[in-house]
Amino acid sequence: MKCHMKRNKEVKVRFTDDELMLLNSYVLKAGYTSRENYMRTTLLKSVPKEQPSIDYQRLINEFNSIGNNLNQLVKLAYYQPLIEQESLSVLTQLKSLISFTESMIRGVV
């Protein structure tokens, strides 16, 4: 047995002609008979993603910077080979930073 709720709250939404045509096509493709039911189902059954924290965004920016620096080092090493000891030192430091970062992400530290 369906529980009938009285829907007494209204939300107005305005569309351009193109947006309304697109919405109508979605409604038809999904097999709905009314835009209201389609929109209600679509909005209420979807779960919005939680925005990542600012710390997470900073971490991603750091990874991007590290990636850019690595690319520059690879180009430099290709055209001007580094001394082997310097290369090993840089790689060891990078490995340590990556391990630390992974443990921070997983909450191990």
For residue range 33-69, list pLDDT tens digits in order: 999 999 999 988 876 677 778 888 888 888 888 878 8
Q: pLDDT over 90 for what percent of the chain? A: 25
Structure tokens at 48: 């919005």
pLDDT for residue 109:
45
- Both tokens of 29, joined, read 């493709």
pLDDT recorded at residue 26: 92
Q: How far apart are CA 21 and CA 40, in angstroms?
A: 18
CB 35 within 8 Å of CB 24? yes
Q: What is the pTM of this model?
A: 0.43
Taking a C-beta distance cutoff of 8 angstroms, is the pair 23, 35 a contact?
A: yes
